Structure 1
Amino acid sequence: MQTTAPRRGVENSSPGAAPRRDQAPPPPPSAPLLRWDEVPDDFVECFILSGYRRLHCSAQECLASVLQPTNETLNFWTHFIPLLLFLSKFCRLFFLSGAGELPFHHPLLLPLWCYASGVLLTFAMSCTAHVFSCLSLRLRAAFFYLDYASISYYGFASTVAYSYYLLPGLRLLDARAMSRYLQQRLGWQLDCSLPIALYSALVLPVAFVLAVTCTVACCKSRSEWCAYPFAIRTFVFAMPLSMACPIMLESFLFDLRGQNPTLFLYFYRRYFWLLVAAFFNISKIPERIQPELFDIIGHSHQLFHIFTFLSIYDQMYYLEEGLLQFLKSPPASPTFLGTIGYMLLLMLCLGMVIRKFLNVADLCKQD
């Protein structure tokens, strides 16, 4: 009598039989999310009670978690989507004649390359830190140190772009216009050439030192002795914004609104978004008011991400306008050392800062 051969996968279907090698093992169930008292102290965010991933997740589990309802999911997406938007915007500027007819490697676009690297690195590093923060305690610290460094890098890159595309067009930094203003308003006979030249020479070195100092302060804010880490980080992140003070002074002393309405509108709207972002980052509203309700969707860090994105979007708009004005009659041609060279040196210094903090003994013991 002819017998039929058993079908693949059926012969070992008895409850006690071992699975065949050619059978794929069943997918592991997704790890349950944890509460704040089930994770290390370094994982716990203020007023966020649930939605935590376990420590020592694999890289695959970390990547899969961006599609799961954890308290980090929207932290990732609120910066990953802006990353894609800015990437497309910079590709248009560099490669699709968005910056006039200049090729992407033209020296006049070097400050824009610096700015683009700062924006993209900030969003990319933030996404990386939020996704892979549960690999280990040491890697968590490393990723967030890199996140802080990327923000300082972005702040300095913005100053580089400002110094070429925006500041030379201000009457505040025009010695003749400023001397005339002081004579008409105050009756002072002053030659402003020297202080303006001094400011122009020091703006990038001062911004460089400020970027390194801010990174050190933010890394220190992760230590246990820091009582108000979010307030310190918010203040430190705001420090590089002081390099844009000439634009603010221009609006007070001269008719910036009439002379350059685009810069006036988007500059002040950017700072409004930054104030709103700082409010959420420091106050921890709304989760402070209703703990656990906003653990997955709507907590303050997600709102902080959204409003910082809006601020950079507005900054990008008026920088692009400044670039187009700069290209019509560039007052000075950017140099490689004065742009890319500065950025490479800053990366080296920030890397040394991060390495120093990662070598702290008590941090190594936690892992």
Structure 2
Amino acid sequence: MATTVMEKIGRLFINLQQVRQVPQLLREAVPSIPATVQDVEVPRFFRECYIFAGYRPLHQGWRYYFLSLFQRHNETINVWTHLLGALAVLTKAAELAETIEFLRDPHSWPLLILLLSSITYMTFSAVAHLLSAKSELYHYAFYFLDYVGVAQYQYGSAVAHFYYAIEKSWYTRVWGIFMPVASFLCCLSCLGCCFGKYQNYSLPSWIRKVSQVLPSALAYAWDTSPVFHRVYLWYLSCGEKDSTNDYAVTFHCGQLAFFLSSAFFFTYPLPESLFPGHCDFLGQGHQLFHVLLVFCTLSQIHASYLDYLSRRDLYTSLHGDSDAQVFVLLYLVTTVICTQIVAYMIKKVKCLLVEKARLD
């Protein structure tokens, strides 16, 4: 009896010893994360206007930047807003996959492209905000990747709007050129954003902003023109009974409102410009831009899904059996071209950094 009791006490003692070692094991597995620094402690290239603290030190190990996902710094909210947004879209995609046969129904492929491109742009954005602080080269590279995601989303929006949301009267005007022009504007937007980032040293900030915003604005205006036309016709027919049954228009109006609001906060540094140094962690305009853009995307996806269900007679009569395959191929071509643009710009960045190091 005494031997049994002693054995149980011994095992309990060993278990307690193991429990006491847990904090030490955790500290060894996850080393302490360096504290964030002030803006004056990082190169000017990494500083954001009106954000004075919360910067992560450069040239740390990759583990540090991945673990900074759980650290309080000035990019934390930017990472989590689009990371959670990507998870929300992924959940929505899984929900739609229960009722839509994406593989067997070619007419569902534009909706699938919208879902994939939405997940891609949010994921690339989260990665850029999380990992771009490692060095100047990686800052360029990850944000160039982010711009590829933006171009993909522009294409996904264009194909969904052209396929499901368009009215016949607008289709007859743009049917031969809409998607090729949309693809071209996606590539132009990617190039403009990369060029603006590349010219960070040599051009005034407003010129860089124009080179990024103007191509994207052109792409948005073209890609969303079917929705604007659809909403306009719906507004003109508001007194008719049939107009009140078009529930998708409500979500299309929502996506327009959310996007235009997000564009405002992307363009103007509010509210941080009103409260310099008080929005280092929470309250930055770019954070509001992220949140509003996520709501825009979710509204857009739901509107496109409702159109897919309720307008099948219309879009099957407008688009031939092979149109969906052509749009998928054009999506791949657009992605490849944008990737080549980024590869070219990274080469230029490397030459720029070598020249800068030589002059220093």
TM-score (norm 1): 0.80
Secondary structure at 2:32 match in 1: coil
1:264-312 per-residue CA deviation (whole Å, 9 max, x = no partner) reads 3222222221222122222211111111111001111111101111111
Match runs of 1:213-228 below 5 Å:
213-222=188-197, 223=199, 224=201, 225-228=203-206
Match of 1:32 in 2: 35
Deviation at 1:327, TM superposition (A): 3.6
Using the alignment, how far apart are the partners of 1:32 and 1:249 within structure 2? 52
Match of 1:240 in 2: 219
Deviation at 1:322, TM superposition (A): 0.8
In 2 relative to 1, CA 135–23 (structure 1 residues): closer, same or farther, beyond 3 Å? closer
Mapped pair 1:69 → 2:72:
yes
Match of 1:203 in 2: 178
1:228-285 per-residue CA deviation (whole Å, 9 max, x = no partner) reads 2445534433322212223323443564655364233222222221222122222211
In 2 relative to 1, CA 66–148 (structure 1 residues): closer, same or farther, beyond 3 Å? same
Match of 1:14 in 2: none
Residue type of the alignment partner of 2:218: M
Residue type of the alignment partner of 2:56: R
Using the alignment, how far apart are the partners of 1:209 and 1:248 within structure 2? 21
Match of 1:149 in 2: 148
2:273 to 288, 311, 318: 288
Deviation at 1:344, TM superposition (A): 1.0
Residue type of the alignment partner of 1:349: I
Secondary structure at 1:288 match in 2: coil
Match runs of 1:315-334 below 5 Å:
315-327=300-312, 330-331=316-317, 332=319, 333-334=321-322
Using the alignment, how far apart are the partners of 1:45 and 1:230 within structure 2? 14
Secondary structure at 1:201 match in 2: coil
Whether contact under 8 Å (1:358, 1:364) holds in the other structure is no
Secondary structure at 2:205 match in 1: coil
Match of 2:131 in 1: 132
Match of 2:262 in 1: 277
In 2 relative to 1, CA 250–29 (structure 1 residues): closer, same or farther, beyond 3 Å? closer
Whether contact under 8 Å (1:250, 1:256) holds in the other structure is no
Secondary structure at 1:214 match in 2: helix
- Aligned-residue sequence identity (percent) comes to 23
Secondary structure at 1:307 match in 2: helix
Match of 2:122 in 1: 123
Mapped pair 1:356 → 2:344:
yes
Using the alignment, how far apart are the partners of 1:256 and 1:309 within structure 2? 30
In 2 relative to 1, CA 242–67 (structure 1 residues): closer, same or farther, beyond 3 Å? same
Where structure 1 has 5 or more consecutive residues not aligned to the other structure, the ranges are: 1-7, 9-21, 175-195
Residue type of the alignment partner of 1:227: S
Mapped pair 1:344 → 2:332:
yes
In 2 relative to 1, CA 45–327 (structure 1 residues): closer, same or farther, beyond 3 Å? same
Whether contact under 8 Å (2:115, 2:301) holds in the other structure is no
Whether contact under 8 Å (1:230, 1:281) holds in the other structure is no
Using the alignment, how far apart are the partners of 2:178 and 2:132 within structure 1? 35
1:298 to 261, 277, 283: 283
Deviation at 1:321, TM superposition (A): 0.7
In 2 relative to 1, CA 226–217 (structure 1 residues): closer, same or farther, beyond 3 Å? farther
Using the alignment, how far apart are the partners of 2:276 and 2:264 within structure 1? 18
In 2 relative to 1, CA 366–30 (structure 1 residues): closer, same or farther, beyond 3 Å? farther
Residue type of the alignment partner of 2:215: V
Whether contact under 8 Å (1:72, 1:131) holds in the other structure is yes
- Note the aligned Cα RMSD (angstroms): 2.6
1:173 to 155, 161, 170: 170
TM-score (norm 2): 0.81
Using the alignment, how far apart are the partners of 1:42 and 1:117 within structure 2? 32
Residue type of the alignment partner of 1:66: L
In 2 relative to 1, CA 114–226 (structure 1 residues): closer, same or farther, beyond 3 Å? farther
Deviation at 1:172, TM superposition (A): 2.4
Deviation at 1:143, TM superposition (A): 0.7
